[in-house]
Amino acid sequence: MKRIAFLLGLFLALFIFNTSQATNLYGDVYTARTDDGITIKLLRYHPPGQTANIQAQPVLLFPGILCNMEEFMQHTPAKLKNLYSEENILPSNLSNWAKDDKRIKQDPMLYYSLAYYLWKKGYDVWLMNYRGTGIGDMKSDVGSWRASLDTWAIYDTKAAILKVYSVTGKHPIIGGHSTGGLVSYVYLQGTEFKKTWLCYFHVPWCKRVVSESGLVKERNGEIQGPQTVLGVVALDPAMIPPLPQSLDKWVNWALLDPPIYVDLRKLIGLLQKNNTVWNYSLMTTEDLNRAIYDAGENYGKYSEFLKDLMMMNPNDLNGDLTDFLIRYVADSFYTQMFAQYGDFGLRHTVREYFENGGRGYLVEPPKPDPGHDGYYYYIKNMYKIRVPFITILSQSNSLVAANEVIRDLMKAKTHNSLDEYYIIDGTAHVDLPFGLKAPSEIFPKIGSWLNRVRKYKIDPHD
């Protein structure tokens, strides 16, 4: 009887204290619960057959919209070993950090994985999937179809950061690509949702965004707490997308206004079932991207619209990277997130979702009037951010205008001696985090900056 009681006690102890939910080939799987009750998935990354750098500085990365965590962890799935070939993937002259790397020799796609690069440099790498995104067992809950960029930034980002801190006991460095950069600077402004009286009547979008001064101090490390972060790696962080004003039509807003969750993963899964259909779709995508990019380069000076379409630089991609992007990285979305980005681009601002505060009757966003219209403006509150940023920007200016990010984020935030920013020639928005130039021109910049941040935190007077 005592033996049975002992075994039961041991089992319960293991169950209670084992915070890792499962094991993935590329890491340990964790879950986090958001303030609104959604379960999101995180991965503590390591290459197959290895272990996570458990005692090291954690780095937590957030993906862009229409993407999942796979955009940071390029690899060759077992079923594609005969498809992805070394001669097509690797350049003749590898970046110094990758030379004589046996794991890259076994799987050349690792060369383009930011997660692998950071792991190799000794960091404790964490990746997350926002609500509604992820593949298979790594998919986070979908939740309500009423989801905005504010939802990802305030609920999901906070839950992921708290999970990393609770597991590691260390304050993470955060960041990510595009929307991953946006949620980072929104979080650092100490934002949270505040209920209005309309919430008592269950009015949609009854909450509004506010900034709480205590959260600003904690998140930026002026006072230490579970929500503190040490810095941000921002890859083409989303702000005001350069959209043509011709899109500012009531009918376009009406199409984005209904709360709809579009499950792209199901469609991608169907396409992959037929190799002929998949190969044709892939070739069509590559040919179309090449045509758009060439048109933008040749005639962009005559048409802003053509320049705005240059989202992927075909010269910064190869066939295998493009295949991985469409097959594994592309993910689902909520329509009203694009309505919010439309507000940014067509109203030339960055603010909370325009239906927040019980304004669900609005179909299109009103003219901005900061300080008088009741909206919280992220673009007007960058000064609250104090932690260091390294911001790496693409050259094409499609979706993200580099000079505007430098002006409205890097020069608007409170200056930190460790702030850095770069514009990488020959890159576009989509390919920036994992394109052909990333291993040699982007990863080493991030690695050097992380070393300086880590050293500064050990000896701030150095």
Compute the distance between CA of residue 60 and CA of residue 53 in angstroms, rounded to an integer. 13
Out of 144-148, 421-425, 455-459, pick the least confident.
455-459
Q: Return the pLDDT at 22.
A: 65
Asked if 30 contacts 167 with a C-beta cutoff of 8 angstroms, the reply is: yes
Is residue 444 included in any domain, yes or no?
A: yes
Q: How confident is the model at residue 265 (pLDDT cuts 50, 70, 90)?
A: very high
Q: Return the pLDDT at 3.
A: 40
Q: How confident is the model at residue 131 (pLDDT cuts 50, 70, 90)?
A: very high
Q: What is the mean pLDDT of residues 351-378?
A: 97
With a cut of 80, say whether residue 342 has pLDDT above it. Answer: yes
Asked if 43 contacts 69 with a C-beta cutoff of 8 angstroms, the reply is: yes
Is residue 12 included in any domain, yes or no?
A: no
With a cut of 90, say whether residue 123 has pLDDT above it. Answer: yes
Start-to-end C-alpha separation, the chain: 61
Q: What is the per-residue pLDDT across 5-15, written as a single tens digit (0 to 9) for each?
A: 433 343 333 33
Q: How confident is the model at residue 82 (pLDDT cuts 50, 70, 90)?
A: confident
Out of 280-284, 325-329, 400-404, pick the least confident.
280-284
> What does the block give as tokens for 338?
């694009």
Is residue 228 included in any domain, yes or no?
A: yes
Is residue 278 included in any domain, yes or no?
A: yes
With a cut of 50, say whether residue 132 has pLDDT above it. Answer: yes
Q: Return the pLDDT at 457.
A: 67
Q: Return the pLDDT at 19.
A: 45
Q: Regarding predicted confidence, which is higher, 336 or 462?
A: 336
With a cut of 70, say whether residue 376 has pLDDT above it. Answer: yes
> What does the block give as tokens for 432?
């920036």
Asked if 33 contacts 39 with a C-beta cutoff of 8 angstroms, the reply is: yes
With a cut of 90, say whether residue 72 has pLDDT above it. Answer: yes
Is residue 324 included in any domain, yes or no?
A: yes
Compute the distance between CA of residue 366 and CA of residue 343 in angstroms, rounded to an integer. 9
Q: Return the pLDDT at 296.
A: 79
363: domain CATH number is: 3.40.50.1820
Q: Return the pLDDT at 24.
A: 77
Compute the distance between CA of residue 2 and CA of residue 81 in angstroms, rounded to an integer. 52
Angle at the Cα of 216 (from 211 to 222), degrees rounded to 5?
165
Q: What is the mean pLDDT of residues 356-382?
A: 97
Out of 212-226, 248-262, 444-458, pick the least confident.
444-458
Is residue 5 included in any domain, yes or no?
A: no
Q: How confident is the model at residue 21 (pLDDT cuts 50, 70, 90)?
A: low
Q: What is the per-residue pLDDT across 203-253, written as a single tens digit (0 to 9) for each?
A: 999 999 999 999 999 999 999 999 999 999 999 999 999 998 989 999 999
Q: Return the pLDDT at 23.
A: 63
Domain housing 367: 20-458
- How much is the mean pLDDT over the chain? 92
Signed CA dihedral, 361, 333, 284, 110: sign only = positive
With a cut of 90, say whether residue 94 has pLDDT above it. Answer: yes
With a cut of 90, say whether residue 266 has pLDDT above it. Answer: yes
Is residue 296 included in any domain, yes or no?
A: yes
Is residue 38 included in any domain, yes or no?
A: yes
Q: Return the pLDDT at 7.
A: 36
With a cut of 90, say whether residue 284 has pLDDT above it. Answer: no
Residue type, 170: K
Please choose, from the candidates 221, 175, 168, 224, the residue with its C-alpha nearest in 3D space to the C-alpha of residue 56: 168
Q: Return the pLDDT at 12.
A: 36
With a cut of 90, say whether residue 108 has pLDDT above it. Answer: yes
With a cut of 50, say whether residue 56 has pLDDT above it. Answer: yes
Number of domains in the chain: 1
Residue type, 378: Y
